Structure 1
């Protein structure tokens, strides 16, 4: 497994993260198996959110973790708060951050989080309230590190004006299909394609300049949640190139698609959302591959892009 010492954050963190959004579909024994499979394949980083199954993902993990024999200090547990689909609002108030964190820890049956992320922007957020909440959580020992999800450079700057603790993570969508993080720079000032449209406010370069580690979510998805591009008939050229490069390295197309993300010099982490042990092993095989410069471009172009 490729590992990463996150600047101002957790050390020796796996570059592949197990995302636990789909864990509510498992029973406790199945959940213990996928956690153990992750650990056996080098994953020590687990991602949650309060909205995953309305807390059921965290609860299932909390019930299953003791069955794995893993030690709490040997894993990195992260959760996110702020999304309330039940009340149809995003909430970054001090009251909600503190309440959500206590509920997260209760469901996980743990004393602290290695990282807490604010989950998508609350359009009414007060950075001073966020700072007060983070101070309380850090001082109490309930949260070691902090970050955000899908947040712009301007919003990060506003938070940093008041928040004392480093913001060390930003979860953003990134994959061979959803490559907006890098497209606009390539097609700058090019009216022949809408890929020149700046859809991310330069967040990739901002994160690299400010030592914020990007965690790529939905690394195999079409759009947001429209299925997987692996073996999809609309992505024949991409799958042909994935298969060709996979055969060279003796790994699956899934592994090559994840290796493409890990090859980027921003040293991103990739979030694997599968609850299938065999498929998770394919994700982890990505850590065995170091794509060449040309192979990375071959995959990018096969996904439907072109060199201007």
Structure 2
């Protein structure tokens, strides 16, 4: 990929987009001054971790199409978004990409008998980059949808769970229904499943005469989390993996848990080009790692064991448009 790797934005004054919907009109950009990063936080870069070693899988290797041209021969080139642990982020040296996504990618590459190269990408860039052949696969918390299945193939490796988190000393106790988010300031990622789900809830609430949600989008997850901790936002709506990982310091707590395809279950999957022939060998390699225990080892060390699948599937049922 030609673009430089993703860097953290400096903490301080940032811009957020607050979506005013249901006739209020368009996207309005409002300026929020985030609290400065504490010195301790600046020094607490995640430690680099030893790479896991996957179980070689001759059957998976034999399934690779003879005419498939890897981006680099003998190498599995995988795109991921280093934005937040436990999914993926830069380690202490600001070079190594660590997290459950890189770990799963390494296990797959080992199973296929290939060297792994990780390519850092922005979330919005992965579809075009994959279609144009800049990388062989994507592991970036991608949920299977029926729309995406028109262009891509998938190999499932985690259940998609979404969590709603608030500051530990905040007044919100639980969020169980769409009505519970009415009038709240919500931090979330743009063009994500949780964004679509929240908009569906918001439309429902507004139709019932309830207050609209105030949407807050941040390019930097750390800034979004600070907004919740300092009370500038009420809650974050995010992959449960990232929320649970950040909650370990006791500053935020979970008040809601929902399937990624609310109200339906959803699968997080390795994404490959449609018809490339890589999905089946990757699925096979994943199932070998599940059977050998290396898969469980990867999920356990990033505290995402509750998202484990019993078996990987090629092109599982996808979510319909919300």
Q: Same fold (TM over 0.5)?
A: no
Q: Hey, which of these two has a bigger chunk of strand by percent?
A: 2
User: Higher relative contact order at CA 8 Å, sep ≥6: structure 1 or structure 2?
Assistant: 2
